[in-house]
Structures are given as C-alpha cells and as structure tokens.
C-alpha cells in the first residue's frame, strides 16, 4: 500500500486540517469536504491523498476532483 492509498482516521484528519469535528461533518454535508470511505462494518476513514488535495486547495476542492480515489 503506497502513501497515496493510505486510509487515515478521524483524529488524524482533524489534526491535519485544523477543523473541529462539527465543522468537518458540516463541510461533508455541504459537499466541500471529502466523504469518508468504509473500512469495516462500523469504521470509516479518508484516503490520505484526498485529504492532501483538500489541504492544498480547500476552497477549490470539489467531490468530482477526487473521483479517482473514491468509489
């Protein structure tokens, strides 16, 4: 598994983005932050590469731009 395919959990995403949990979930609902991917029956995470894209350009990020990594 390469670093681009790594899945990171909520705690790491919050630390890397500087967002609060409620802001992160509000942005997901608004479509301005990447959606989670399922990793188990009750667990989710985010592709690290998609989070890196969002960090690089948070105002210009769109769900379609990350379509190569998300199902």
pLDDT digits (tens, 9 = 90+) for 31-42: 999 999 999 999
Measuring CA to CA, which residue among 49, 39, 37 is closest to residue 6? Answer: 49
Residue 71 lies in a domain: no
Residue 35 lies in a domain: yes
Place of tokens 């479509």: 31
Residue 68 lies in a domain: no
The residue segments making up the domain with residue 50 are 3-63
Structural domain tally of the chain? 1
Q: pTM of the prediction? A: 0.80
* Residues forming beta bridges with residue 8, ordered by sequence position: 46
Band (60; pLDDT cuts 50, 70, 90): confident
Residue 69 lies in a domain: no
Report angle CA 44, 58, 48 to the nearest 5 degrees: 35
Residue 15 lies in a domain: yes
User: What CATH number is associated with residue 9?
Assistant: 1.10.1660.60
């Amino acid at each position: 598994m390469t670093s681009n395919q790594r899945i990171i959990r909520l705690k790491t995403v919050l630390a890397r983005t500087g967002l609060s949990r409620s802001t992160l979930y509000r942005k997901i609902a608004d479509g301005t932050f990447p959606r989670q991917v399922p990793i188990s029956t009750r667990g989710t995470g985010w592709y690290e590469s998609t989070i890196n894209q969002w960090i690089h350009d948070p105002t210009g990020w769109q769900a379609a731009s990350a379509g190569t990594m998300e199902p």
